[in-house]
């Protein structure tokens, strides 16, 4: 009897996930398009804006890297004494889950580009066990990164002398779909929320465009 109940519960969870749709974050508007001589009104959603950054190898990275892919973004700094070590431990779990699946990419942005040099990010990447391709560590101009965090990913990233390490930033893992729309924000220090993120990654993968 117990086994029957367990099987039923598992099937129920599976069925719910099959029908689950994720929200789309940000502003939206209605716009009129011309198609085959007809005017069509459609919803236009906010997307992550174009970006130009450098990765841990010193290579230029733009939005072309994630075009048509599902990705997770986060913000950190290598000397962070509080939440970053936990976040990277959790992101490593995500990386191990999606490793080798070309549908997925992980992008970790430093919010302390003055200290977090490219060689330091390279070393950080290697110590975490990333291949440096599917999980990349990005840097750039401070103002560019902060604006991208706030306006693109709905995240906080800024200097704050009152905070440990001198910065305040969101601990969120931001889930972005193939159309560059934010579809979920998860607490990167909470294992249960990261578990949900990993489930939602595959919900997006199965989602029809």
Q: What is the mean pLDDT of residues 25-49?
A: 83
Q: What would the pLDDT profile of 111-133 be if each residue is shown by its tens digit?
A: 999 999 999 999 999 999 999 99
Q: Where do the structural domains in the chain lie, given as residue ranges?
A: 48-206
Q: What would the pLDDT profile of 142-172 be if each residue is shown by its tens digit?
A: 999 999 999 999 999 988 888 888 998 889 9
pLDDT of 11 > 60? The answer is: no
Residues forming beta bridges with residue 106, ordered by sequence position: 72, 135
What HEC string does 139-178 produce? Answer: ECCHHHHHHHHHHHHCCCEEECCCCHHHEEECCEEEEECC
Give the CATH class of 48-206: alpha beta
8 Å CB contact between 80 and 148: no
8 Å CB contact between 84 and 119: no
pLDDT of 6 > 70? The answer is: no
Q: What is the mean pLDDT of residues 176-188?
A: 98
pLDDT value of residue 18: 53
The mean pLDDT value of the chain amounts to 90
Q: What is the mean pLDDT of residues 64-73?
A: 98
pLDDT value of residue 209: 66
């Amino acid at each position: 009897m117990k086994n029957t109940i367990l099987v039923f519960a598992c099937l129920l969870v599976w069925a719910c996930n099959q029908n689950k749709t994720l929200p789309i974050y940000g502003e939206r508007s209605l716009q009129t398009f011309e198609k085959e001589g007809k005017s069509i009104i459609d919803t236009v959603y906010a997307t992550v804006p174009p970006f130009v950054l450098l990765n841990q190898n010193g290579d230029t990275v733009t939005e072309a890297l994630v075009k048509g892919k599902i990705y997770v973004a986060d913000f950190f700094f290598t000397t962070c004494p509080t939440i970053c070590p936990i976040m990277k431990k959790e992101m490593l779990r995500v990386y191990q889950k999606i490793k080798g699946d070309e549908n997925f990419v992980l992008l970790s942005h430093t919010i302390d580009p003055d200290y977090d040099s490219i060689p330091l990010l390279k070393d950080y990447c290697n110590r975490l066990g990333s291949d440096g391709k599917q999980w990349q560590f990005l840097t750039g101009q401070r103002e560019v990164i902060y604006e991208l965090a706030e306006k693109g990913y709905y995240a906080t990233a800024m200097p704050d002398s009152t905070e440990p390490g001198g910065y305040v930033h969101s601990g969120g893992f931001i889930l972005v779909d193939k159309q560059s729309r934010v579809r979920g924000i998860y607490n990167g220090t909470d294992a249960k929320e990261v578990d949900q993120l990993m489930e939602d990654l595959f919900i997006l993968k199965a989602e029809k465009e």
